Every structure is written in structure tokens, then in C-alpha cells.
Structure 1
Amino acid sequence: MKSFQSQVSDADLRILRIYRTVVECGGFSAAEIELNISRAAISIAISDLETRLGFRLCQRGRSGFSLTNEGSQVYEYTLQLLSSIEDFRTQINALHQHLQGELNIGITDNLVTLPHTRITHSLAGLKDKGPKVKVNIRMIPPTEVERGVLDGGLHIGIVPDLKVLSGLDYRPLYEEESKLYCSDQHPLFTLSDKDINKAKLKQYDAVLPAYAQTPEVKAQHQPLHTSATATDREGIAFLILTGRYIGFLPDHVADHWVRDGRMRAILPAECRYITQFSAITRKGARNNLVLETFLEELDKTT
């Protein structure tokens, strides 16, 4: 008799499940319907299992189907093995249902108004699976988010893709469109776009973001007459609403002011850019079941 020394593979488990069904159905013919595979495929699977084990498991033929002594023992062992796998799955699922610990997440400002609320849905899913999980959100600039994830103070961060750092893994989340806006108190508000050109825009004060920008964003700001800066999008909105400045804002941030008639986009076909946002985690970080569950929920929202 051969010894079963090598690892049990997924293929072995599949064949063992076929064998269990054959035994419980009392033969190949009845198992054919249950397994939804042909009798020939079942016969090949059982023959492969017998070759793998080194002995005959059952008698089959005109005299009917019956197990050998070894076949009966293998059936019992198969039940134990498959039951253990199912127990393992159940226990892991139970862990997910009783998650405990913390999720420390850093988020760039003013993303809550995005129409695709992937972060919100993912946090809701995490809370459903782990009612005892404590979620800690820090609203900080992108560079601080990256630093927090790299040094382990944050489990995950949500940042614009301004640069790719080698120590981080990136999961694309959102594309955010920004346009150039003025308020209803600004001279440009009542002008039509045909009466405005980029040369005319230089006559008006503009606000420049005081944080890292992609070359595309820098190119959009280059022609403007910048006389103020802001460290975040909320600060830019404050200055635009004074009626003394024009500036770029994400459409989802400006939307409620636009609907209220307090802001408008200027030359929207020309003065616009796209920013990609990603979820970042540290490469090689120790497995964290809370974080893994949050990432699973995040993947579901795609």
C-alpha cells in the first residue's frame, strides 16, 4: 500500500467530495445527477483517487456498487477532513462577525460630498461585521496621511495620486473633476463664456492651493494672477465666496453653491482637470483582520 505523503491539493479535495457523494448516493448513476457531471467523469475521478491512495475503494459493475474495507475507512476519514474544513470556514466567518480592535484611517479633506460614497459604504459594512470595532478618522493633508500610513500610525489613507511612494500599495477609488469657479459677487459671474478668455482671467485675483499639485494642476493655475493661497479646498471656497477671488474647486464641493446660484464655473470646457484618489496601505504590513475586512468591503463597492 502506498503512503499518502504529499500535500492534499485542491484537486484532491474535489475528488474526495466526489467520492463522498458517490458513497452517499450508493453508486455512480445516482451521483451523476447530484454532481451534475457525467458517469465517465465520476469514474475517472474515483480511479484517480484509487491511484493516488494505492488501493481499491469500491466494487462497481454488473453486480452493483459496494465499498471495500479500505473504501469504508477512507469514506469516514473523508467526512472528518471535509467537516474540519467546514468548521475552519465557520470559525473564520465567526471571527469576522466578532471583529474587535481599531481602524485608524486618514482622509484628505472634503471627500464626503463625492457622489460615489465608497468610503461611507465600506465603513458601514465594517460596522455591521464588527460592531465592537472602533473607527478613528483623521482629516489631514495628503502628506501627513502618507507619513501616517508609512510609520504605522494609520492603517489606511485616502489621498490624491500626486506621486507614487515605493513603500505603499495603491487601490484606485475615485476620479474627481475640478473646475474654475467664481461667486455671484464677482464681476465674471454675469458674463457669458463667449465674453471671457484666458487672457481676461489674468485681470482677476486667484487663489492658489498651498499643497502638492500634479503638473496638470500646475498648468491650469499658471496663467492666473494668484494673490492668495489656501491649504485646503475649504479655504479656497472661503476666498471664492468673498467675490474677490476665482479658484479651482472639485465639482462635488461647489455643487450646492452652484445650485443655490452663489457660484458658477468659468470656461468649464477649458479650465478643468481630473484628480485620481486612491486608498493607500503600507507594503509588507502585518496582517490586520479589521483592515482586511474594511478592504473587502471597499472592493465590494467597485
Structure 2
Amino acid sequence: MLTSLSDLDLRLVRVFLAVVDARGVTAAEATVGARQSTISSQLSVLETRIGFALCERGRGGFRLTPKGERFVVLARALLAQTAQFVAQVQHIDRKLVGTLSIGMIGHASLDENARLAKAIATFRQRDEAVRFHMRVATSTELETQILNQQLDLAIGYFSHRADGIAYSKLFDERQVICCGRGHPLFHHRGQVQIEHLRAHHWVWRTYPVPEEIASISERQVTATADNVDAATVLILSGRHIGYLPKHHAHAFEQRGLIRVLNETAFGFDVPHQLASRPRQRDNPIVQAFCEDLLEAYGKQRGSAASSSRDTSTDGNVNI
């Protein structure tokens, strides 16, 4: 049973988290810089030190035990605090010292990315020594990483509203139905009606977007995609129709490769939100960056720290 912590224990914890992030011992070899047999031995030593099994590994694959899942959260918090301590000692004369982990879903418009970049530039003018970590993932993954304390905040569309996360609307992203050159609807544009859409093959996104609000029932979904790029390829084939962000479709439309179908009838807006754990409003780094971010979006300063409510019906929530 673990009663004290040594440098060796910290190294073993880092190896364990590398395996967790790689989702397997073999996949973690490159990250750890060791062979599978060595990594397995290190995991066994760690399990002996703490007194319980962290994971199942072998021919059946890699899987965390219930205690292992709880240990992951504690281990990440430990390493984060260790890194925070080192950074604070190195920059003890600075006001804001530490790390800031930001998640994004990707494929935001140039305007929205420019606002995020402006917020980062403004934050860098503060008396700070902060290391940024940026990560791109699906909205569901981002929410999970916020709850697991892998991310401090994230920007994206979040349809189901996870418990323990507060949301604040930043902007809307327009979603439009598209088809590729060679598709039977390519030359119809605004004349397309619901019955036309029901008669053709669809690509559907596996990540949550409230596409059902378009009220197009009985679709022929014959393809799925877990990101915008994959959906775009299927639409470009000329054999599928599906939703894309309007700003993303625009570049292809300019080249005559994609057509937007009756945006007036079937286009809709998806709110993109700033998400974080409510308690993070007390973190001075997160609070300062949220102020700069909201200012870049023309929001009022202080709204990022004034409330810990989870969400509201219109998505406009302070965090």
C-alpha cells in the first residue's frame, strides 16, 4: 500500500497515464520510449506499490479497472499540481503562473479563430508565465476531458449539456444541406423540397449536432462520418447529401464542387459555447483568459465568473 511518494512513483504514474492515453501498452511504446515488456513490468511495479490492479492487459485488450478509472483522475491531478509547482517556482515573480488547457472541435470559421487568437494575444500582454495546451476533439470528448480535468475549458457545440459543466454562448454557426457536383440535385438549389431530400442518400454525422430541427424525417442514411472532413468527402462524391458548416462549404462552392440546397428552408444555426467546470471560475488563469475571450467576442467582462449555473434554454449562461 502506498504510504509515501518518490521520484520513481512519479515516473511510474507518467508511464501509466501514457498507456491510458494510448489505450494500450503496445500503442504507448513510442510515447514512453520503452518496449512492451518493460512498460508492463513498470505497470506491475506501480500496482504493487499502490496495492490494487489498475488495468487488465493482454490478448483481450486494455481496460481500466473501476479503481484504475478513479486512479486516473487522481494521477492527472497529481501531475498537474507538480507541473504547477515547478512553473510557479520558476516564475515566482509573475502574477499568473501555470498552464491553460483549451479544447476545440475544429473547423471554426476564420473569423471565429481570429477572435480566439485575439484573446490569446491579449492574455499574453498580462503579467503571466502560462503554458498553453490546445487540443482538437469531438464535443463529447471535450466534455469528458473537462470533467476529467484534462481540459480547463473548451469551445464548441454541446447538445446534451453534461452535468457539472457550465456553458456560455459565444457565437452561432450556420449549418446547410449540401450536395456535390454530379448529384441529381446539384442544379436545383433553392427549388429543393423535403420530398426531394428524402429520395436521396444521406451522410449523417456521428457526433451530436441538432440536425433533427430541420424536420426532415425518413432520410435514407447510407453513410456516417465522425468529422466534417469525412462528411465533405462523401458529399463531394456526388452520391450523398448532408449538412456542413456554411463557412466550410463556401470554399468548395466557389470552385463549383458543392451546392447548398435551399438554405432558406433547411439551414439552421448551431450555438457554439464556452464550456468549463463551474469551480474553474476561481482559477485566476482561467478567469483572466475567459475575460479576454469574452471581450474578443464583445461580451461583458466578468460574465465568465459571475455564476456557476449549468445551462439555460437559450444557451446563454455565465460560467
Structure-1-length-normalised TM-score:
0.62
- Give the Cα separation in 2 of the matches to 1:256 and 1:182: 14
Can you give the 5+ residue segments of structure 2 that lack an aligned partner in the other structure?
1-90, 299-319
Can you give the 5+ residue segments of structure 1 that lack an aligned partner in the other structure?
1-93
- The answer for the alignment partner of 1:207 in structure 2 is 203
Kindly state the Cα deviation for residue 145 of structure 1 after the two structures are TM-superposed.
Answer: 0.7
- The answer for the alignment partner of 2:177 in structure 1 is 180
- The answer for the alignment partner of 2:7 in structure 1 is none
Do the aligned residues in 2 keep the contact of 1:176 with 1:276 (CA within 8 Å)? Answer: yes
Q: How many residue pairs were aligned?
A: 207
Aligned to 2:265, what secondary structure does the other structure show? coil
User: Residues 89-108 of structure 1 correspond to what in structure 2 (within 5 A)?
Assistant: 99-108=96-105
2:168 to 171, 174, 177: 171
AA aligned opposite 1:187: P
Pick which of 271-280 and 161-170 moved more: 161-170
1:299 aligns with 2:305: no
Pick which of 201-210 and 116-125 moved more: 116-125
- Give the Cα separation in 1 of the matches to 2:171 and 2:196: 33
Aligned to 1:235, what secondary structure does the other structure show? helix
AA aligned opposite 2:206: A
Aligned to 1:294, what secondary structure does the other structure show? helix
User: Residues 198-237 of structure 1 correspond to what in structure 2 (within 5 A)?
Assistant: 198-214=194-210, 217=212, 219-237=214-232
Kindly state the Cα deviation for residue 171 of structure 1 after the two structures are TM-superposed.
Answer: 1.6
- The answer for the alignment partner of 2:245 in structure 1 is 250
Kindly state the Cα deviation for residue 218 of structure 1 after the two structures are TM-superposed.
Answer: 5.7
Do the aligned residues in 1 keep the contact of 2:96 with 2:128 (CA within 8 Å)? Answer: yes
Kindly state the Cα deviation for residue 250 of structure 1 after the two structures are TM-superposed.
Answer: 0.9
Kindly state the Cα deviation for residue 294 of structure 1 after the two structures are TM-superposed.
Answer: 0.9
- The answer for the alignment partner of 1:282 in structure 2 is 277
- Give the Cα separation in 2 of the matches to 1:212 and 1:106: 17
Do the aligned residues in 2 keep the contact of 1:184 with 1:263 (CA within 8 Å)? Answer: yes
Kindly state the Cα deviation for residue 159 of structure 1 after the two structures are TM-superposed.
Answer: 2.4
- The answer for the alignment partner of 2:186 in structure 1 is 189
Do the aligned residues in 2 keep the contact of 1:109 with 1:232 (CA within 8 Å)? Answer: no
Structure-2-length-normalised TM-score:
0.59
- Residue 268 to residue 173, structure 1, CA distance change in 2 (3 Å): same
Do the aligned residues in 2 keep the contact of 1:179 with 1:271 (CA within 8 Å)? Answer: yes
- The answer for the alignment partner of 1:240 in structure 2 is 235
1:269 aligns with 2:264: yes
- The answer for the alignment partner of 2:148 in structure 1 is 151
User: Residues 41-52 of structure 1 correspond to what in structure 2 (within 5 A)?
Assistant: none
- Residue 131 to residue 204, structure 1, CA distance change in 2 (3 Å): same
- Residue 250 to residue 145, structure 1, CA distance change in 2 (3 Å): same
Aligned to 2:276, what secondary structure does the other structure show? strand
User: Residues 120-159 of structure 1 correspond to what in structure 2 (within 5 A)?
Assistant: 120-129=117-126, 132-159=129-156
- Give the Cα separation in 1 of the matches to 2:148 and 2:233: 33
- The answer for the alignment partner of 1:63 in structure 2 is none
The alignment's C-alpha RMSD in Å is 2.5
Do the aligned residues in 2 keep the contact of 1:97 with 1:129 (CA within 8 Å)? Answer: no
Do the aligned residues in 2 keep the contact of 1:96 with 1:293 (CA within 8 Å)? Answer: no
Do the aligned residues in 2 keep the contact of 1:149 with 1:281 (CA within 8 Å)? Answer: yes
- Give the Cα separation in 2 of the matches to 1:210 and 1:138: 20
Kindly state the Cα deviation for residue 286 of structure 1 after the two structures are TM-superposed.
Answer: 7.2
- Residue 137 to residue 116, structure 1, CA distance change in 2 (3 Å): closer
- Residue 300 to residue 227, structure 1, CA distance change in 2 (3 Å): same
- Residue 134 to residue 266, structure 1, CA distance change in 2 (3 Å): same
- Residue 222 to residue 188, structure 1, CA distance change in 2 (3 Å): same
Aligned to 2:107, what secondary structure does the other structure show? coil
Do the aligned residues in 1 keep the contact of 2:101 with 2:133 (CA within 8 Å)? Answer: yes
Larger Rg: 1
Pick which of 115-124 and 181-190 moved more: 115-124
Aligned to 2:204, what secondary structure does the other structure show? strand
- The answer for the alignment partner of 1:113 in structure 2 is 110
User: Residues 2-13 of structure 1 correspond to what in structure 2 (within 5 A)?
Assistant: none
Kindly state the Cα deviation for residue 97 of structure 1 after the two structures are TM-superposed.
Answer: 7.0
Kindly state the Cα deviation for residue 175 of structure 1 after the two structures are TM-superposed.
Answer: 0.7
AA aligned opposite 1:232: N
Kindly state the Cα deviation for residue 130 of structure 1 after the two structures are TM-superposed.
Answer: 5.7
- Give the Cα separation in 1 of the matches to 2:200 and 2:188: 14
